[in-house]
């Protein structure tokens, strides 16, 4: 039985440079077992996480490379499953004993060396588009608490806000504070998640302010990512 500390070490090594558990591998694939060991940490995490989710993300290394048109497939002797990627390159990761026993691979159709695989924590998107500021802050704190468990370097970080992510074609995402029916918060071109190289999204950063504010989105965001400082 692996200890939680050992799993944390695996998390820190996994996907940091296109490698699985520190061993160089072809950048077009990773071992399902290695990804499983990292992704299952979130499933076993015992603290509050009802406002956040974790997915496997395919991340471009270069800002000129978009995650469009990528296909991710789980392949093994007894396993073959297509894993749909959203516009930000994220897939819902299946926890399958058969694929683990089969030592299956996660295979990407992209060019070798252009992409990394990364566990990614984000906020759960609300279908009604109405977010209480206090709940956004609580979700960011949940995400940060988890990140601190698996990444010791995050222990000094603090939550400052959240980022609403939209497709580049959504010129005016319509994210505004309901209080006073004020003007929309300004969108800019940027990355879906802080630190990502590709910046081909329309993003709106919301900085935490009054606890009783509401944030309303006219369009459904592709993702909501936490912002730390």
The pLDDT tens digits of the residues spanning 61-95 come to: 999 999 888 999 999 999 999 999 999 999 999 99
Q: How far, CA to CA in Å, does 42 sit from each of 46, 50, 194, 225? A: 9, 11, 20, 17
- For the chain, the domains span 4-122, 126-228
Residue 159's beta-bridge partner residues?
A: 228
Q: How far, CA to CA in Å, does 92 sit from each of 5, 6, 25, 55, 89? A: 25, 24, 22, 5, 10
Residue 4 has pLDDT above 70, yes or no: no
The pLDDT tens digits of the residues spanning 94-126 come to: 999 999 999 999 999 876 678 999 999 999 999
pLDDT of residue 22: 29
Helices assigned H by DSSP within the chain:
4-13, 32-44, 97-101, 133-150
Element (H, E) at 204: strand 201-207
CA 92 to CA 99: how far, in whole Å? 15
How many residues are present in the chain?
229
Q: What is the pTM of this model?
A: 0.87
């Amino acid at each position: 039985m692996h200890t939680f500390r050992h799993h944390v070490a695996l998390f820190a090594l996994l996907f940091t440079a296109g490698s699985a558990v520190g061993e160089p591998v072809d950048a077009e694939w990773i071992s399902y077992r290695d990804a499983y060991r990292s992704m299952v940490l979130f499933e076993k995490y015992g603290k509050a996480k009802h406002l956040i989710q974790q997915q496997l993300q395919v991340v471009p290394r270069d800002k000129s490379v978009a995650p469009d048109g990528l296909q991710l497939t789980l392949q093994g002797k007894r396993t073959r499953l297509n894993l749909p990627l959203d516009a930000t390159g994220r897939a819902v990761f299946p926890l399958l004993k058969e694929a683990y026993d089969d030592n299956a691979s996660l295979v990407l159709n992209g060019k070798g060396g252009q992409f990394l695989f990364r566990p990614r924590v984000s906020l759960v998107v609300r279908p009604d588009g109405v977010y209480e500021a206090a709940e956004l802050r609580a979700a960011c704190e949940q995400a940060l608490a988890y990140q601190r468990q698996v990444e010791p370097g995050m222990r000094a970080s603090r939550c400052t806000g959240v980022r609403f992510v939209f497709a580049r074609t959504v010129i005016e995402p319509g994210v505004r504070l309901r209080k006073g029916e004020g003007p929309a918060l300004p969108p800019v071109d940027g990355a879906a998640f802080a630190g990502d190289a590709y910046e081909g999204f329309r993003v709106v950063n919301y900085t935490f302010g009054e606890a009783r504010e509401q944030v309303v989105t006219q369009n459904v965001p592709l993702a909501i990512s936490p912002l730390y400082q």
